[in-house]
Amino acid sequence: MEIRDEDKSNDDVQELSLTDKFSKLFSLLEHCNEDEQRKKIGEMNEIIDGMNKEEFLYVFTTELFNKMDKMIEENKLTIENSILLTKYVGYCYVLKNMWSSGFNHSELRRRFERMILEEEKKKEEKNENLLVGLCESYLSLKNLLSSELLSICIYYLLKAALNKEESEEAQKDVEMVLLALSNIWQSDILFSYFEHFFKNYFS
């Protein structure tokens, strides 16, 4: 006699939540090469788009950012791909007004700070694309900065925004840059840096 599994009703088949989908993809990152990581991060960013505030804050904790830092340290996640993810997280932070202190207390925040300062101090072979990505992620995820970091981030982000081509993709990048800048709470300091930047940039 043939035994067949009974058909399961839709009620019995529960779809993974957005937080579970994100966590599953995140757990696979350290087992992927750089191109595969980039593809999965693209899928993760789409999931982030659909998250509500509770889901968003549940996922993006200090523990998650610390995990990212450890993966970078162990060469299981490239810094470029970490920026690809954190930049979009920061974009959603600002766009959806969903601030969290998870990044502020993380080792990833300290790593980004060190890298920004070290890259800025280079006299030759300065990687401005890397610097812009670091600044954009950092500025959108952290709202209170030291004067030194604030000065560096504003300069390179404004420079990047002004130098972008007029393609659809470039305009999206500009939007993300400007949103990162809008996350600065020290408005009086921000205005003085804007004034200083434009005087020097267009002189």
DSSP 29: G
Share above pLDDT 70 across residues of the chain, in percent, rounded to a whole number: 72
pLDDT confidence tier of residue 151, bands split at 50, 70 and 90: confident
Q: CA-CA distance, 194 to 189, in Å (whole number)?
A: 9
Q: CA-CA distance, 65 to 44, in Å (whole number)?
A: 15
Helices within the chain (DSSP H only): 18-28, 34-49, 53-59, 62-73, 79-95, 107-121, 128-141, 147-163, 168-182, 187-201
Residue 93 confidence (pLDDT) above 90: no
pLDDT on residue 112: 96
DSSP string for 73-127:
HTTSS-HHHHHHHHHHHHHHHHHTT---STTTTSHHHHHHHHHHHHHHH-SSS--
Average pLDDT over residues 159-165: 71
- Residue-wise pLDDT for 27-49, tens only, equals 999 999 999 999 999 999 999 99
What's the distance, Cα to Cα, between the start and end of the chain in Å?
Answer: 88
Residue closest to 193 by CA, chosen among 128, 137, 135: 135
- Residue-wise pLDDT for 13-24, tens only, equals 357 899 999 999
Residue with the larger pLDDT of the pair 177 and 34: 34
Q: CA-CA distance, 33 to 48, in Å (whole number)?
A: 22
Average pLDDT over residues 67-92: 95
- Residue-wise pLDDT for 44-79, tens only, equals 999 999 999 899 999 999 999 999 999 999 999 999
Q: Is the pTM of this model over 0.75?
A: yes
pLDDT on residue 107: 96
Residue 165 confidence (pLDDT) above 80: no
- Residue-wise pLDDT for 99-140, tens only, equals 778 999 999 999 999 999 999 998 888 898 999 999 989 988
Residue with the larger pLDDT of the pair 45 and 173: 45
